[in-house]
Amino acid sequence: MRLSSKTAIVTGARRGIGRAIALALAREGANVVVSDISQEDCQKVVDEIEKLGRKGLALKCDVSSSDNVEDMVKKTVAEFGRVDILVNNAGILTFKPFLELTDEDWDKTLNVNLKGQFLCARAAGRVMIKNKWGRIINMASISSGGCGIAFPLIAHYTASKGGVTALTEALALELTPQGVNVNAICPGAIDTDMSKGVKEGGQLAQVLSRIPKGRLGQPEEIANLVVFLASEEADYISGAAIVIDGGWLTS
């Protein structure tokens, strides 16, 4: 197993991509802290992790709160003695025309999707550099400016994810020399609750027509990439924004 003796924190891990990541890390030998806004849902994922023979810890955490994040990292260290891997997966997506966006819409999205990743990386990074080893994996999007394309109705989301790719590069410059690799993953259309709007709005066929692979991605496919980036096999990769979209950006 590639991640034996490692401890991982996965935010937004109660369902979808986050849950798949938490389980994939556990299968590779990591103990996993499952973090999200519902303690009950997090515990369900921990129960699955423990069935795999690994240890888990369910923690309710609002990633936009510095106090919540610091407490999450402290409890992780108290339970497992270390933090080796951070997967900044927590995020929100709402659809609204730009001219109708409120200050609250903007602030909530940026606070969760961008500020949350900053807070988690800062808290976990301080622990990682003490051991001179770590992996920070940030979840961006193909809708994140420089590494992808823009879509209507999600200007706030696009801005937040563009900030994630920029933050990833900046953190990699500072932390890589101290043994902590920092990378971003830019998913395309993945079959999760976030894609329900596309299905229910009758836009699925249009979306699939733009994807050479001809289907939505599966959460487990994102999880496989996370496992690789968290492992020693990816030791020479830092500061990258890796697209996983079934070929969408080539079309």
What is the distance between the alpha carbons of residues 208 and 61, in angstroms, rounded to a whole number? 35
Check if the beta carbon of residue 139 is closer than 8 Å to that of residue 17: yes
Residues assigned a catalytic role: 157
Sole residue written with tokens 């973090």? 35
